[in-house]
Amino acid sequence: MQYAKLRSEAKYNLAASGVMSYPLAELPIKLEDLEINGPTLYGYEPLLERLAKLNGVTPDCVVTAQGTSLANHLAIAATLEPGEEALVEWPTYELLTSTLQYLGARVRFFDRGLERGFRVDPEEVERKITPQTRLIVLTNLHNPSGTLIHDATLNAVGEIARKINARVLVDEVYLESMFEQRPHPAIHMGDHFVVTSSLTKAFGLSGVRCGWVLATPELAQRMRHIHDLYGVNAAFPADLISVIALDNLDRVIARAKKLLAANRPVLDAFLQSRDDLACVRPEYGTVVFPKLLKGSVEALDRLLREKYETGIVPGKYFGEERHFRVGIGGDPDMTHVGFERLGAALDEMRK
């Protein structure tokens, strides 16, 4: 996260994982729509109602939180006691592992690497669980590879969890970027699923920090009480803006889809042209995670920054040193030049 915050910025930024920022000016907000203080308490009701509708659940299943980040924190704190075991996908989003460890979990991993096409294999999950496993942790779409976990696989993992009285936490923050094609959130597969998400990645609305957890009403209530330890109340102006954004989600989605539709062919053409990379090309989402077949990603990253003003995320931040992650949610002109420069740097490395 420190790398993402302090060192990933570049003129040609392929390091960002979400859709570029949605401007406030493009939402129909008047100053009189906003207020500083209001009834947030255990969630601002109009916001809970909209998030419940978006996800096909009742508002008592929704817990609002600052981004998917705090949503994950609450979900883990409410489902695991210190010393209990979590089984996490590998490679993974590092903050999931560090939050689990911070909250005292013992972390084990199961493999969903490139050799498996970044797919989740329920048999591999079954091999890695132990009677102590209380939580299985997945991202869908996968960060860093963008790979979709299909419902049948999620169901199979759910069954494995249910048999040992464990739960499955699915971070769906990138699933939102499937828009109308987004499958139902995994919470609909049973009470042993817990889902987290936010308006951050697919919609370019990170600044309102509108995150949420979907869980059974009892578990959701436990999370609300845990939230009292961290934030007590939400930022009311942010909740008001989130409600307006959700009421106008069509226009936010239209812009995101336009950006991704412009950038995906650029990514495809780039990957098509490279025999020095191995990459699973996901159909959806905002990121991919190529493997550099020869040479060091650290050297590539340095060359890109120093000579080509271009940013990528080295795979070591996901535990895979030979890979790097690039995103396609940025401005199309910038993204186009970014991939040209990435190609030039790769060519230069080969000399």
87 has which bridge partners? Answer: 108, 136
Instruction: Choose between 64 and 139: whose C-beta lies nearer to ligand PLP.
Output: 139
| Closest residue to ligand PLP using C-beta atoms | 67
Give the integer Cα–Cα distance in Å for 116 and 241.
41
Near ligand PLP by CB under 6 A: residue from 67, 91, 146, 285: 67
Near ligand PLP by CB under 6 A: residue from 55, 99, 140, 143: 143
Near ligand PLP by CB under 6 A: residue from 85, 89, 171, 176: 171
Residue 164's closest CA among 207, 138, 200, 132? 132
Judged by phi (left if over 0) then psi (alpha if -120 to 50, else beta), residue 179 lies in left
Near ligand PLP by CB under 6 A: residue from 79, 200, 242, 286: 200
Contact between 139 and ligand PLP (CB under 6 A)? Answer: yes
Instruction: Choose between 173 and 267: whose C-beta lies nearer to ligand PLP.
Output: 173
User: By CB neighbour count within 10 A (0-12 exposed, 13-18 middle, 19+ buried), where does 70 fall?
Assistant: buried
**What residues between 201 and 240 interact with ligand PLP by CB under 6 A?**
206, 211
How far the first Cα of the chain sits from its last, in Å, is 33
Alpha helix (H) ranges present in the chain?
A: 2, 45-55, 67-79, 94-102, 122-128, 151-163, 217-230, 236-247, 249-272, 297-308, 332-350
Q: What is the token pair recorded at 205?
A: 């609305």
Contact between 13 and ligand PLP (CB under 6 A)? Answer: no
Q: Give Cβ neighbours of residue 53 (< 8 Å, ≥ 6 apart).
A: none
Near ligand PLP by CB under 6 A: residue from 22, 42, 93, 317: 93
Q: Which range of residues in 62-70, 154-162, 225-233, 306-314 is near ligand PLP by CB under 6 A?
A: 62-70
Q: How far is the CB of 295 from ligand PLP (least distance, A)?
A: 26
Residues forming contacts to ligand PLP in the complex (CB under 6 A) are 17, 67-69, 93, 139, 143, 171, 173, 198, 200, 206, 211
